[in-house]
């Protein structure tokens, strides 16, 4: 269980600010709390991730790395 302590939009996505059990605050995308998202999830014996999804994650990580370097962070 988490405590919701705020909400905001980041990069066009609505998110909740939540406090985890250990006291850490983090962002929880609003879609993760919606019943519709849960209906689309299925447990399988063999996990599957599409190449397109992996490419999207790679692009996000590359962008985050470039942003960090531009701000002088490692």
The reported pTM is 0.52
Residue 28 in this model has a pLDDT that exceeds 80: yes
Q: What is the residue range of 31's domain?
A: 3-70
End-to-end CA distance of the chain: 33
**40 vs 48: CA distance, rounded Å:** 14
**65 vs 42: CA distance, rounded Å:** 32
35, 5, 41: which is closest to 20 by C-alpha? 5
18 within 8 A of 3, measured Cβ to Cβ: yes
Count the domains in the chain. Answer: 1
pLDDT tens digits for range 44-54:
899 888 999 99
């Amino acid at each position: 269980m988490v405590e919701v302590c705020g909400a905001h939009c980041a990069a066009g996505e609505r998110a909740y600010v939540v406090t985890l059990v250990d006291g850490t605050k983090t962002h929880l995308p609003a879609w993760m709390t919606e019943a519709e998202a849960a209906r689309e999830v299925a447990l399988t014996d063999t996990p599957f991730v599409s190449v397109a999804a992996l490419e999207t994650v790679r692009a996000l990580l590359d962008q985050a790395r470039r942003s960090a370097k531009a701000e002088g962070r490692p």
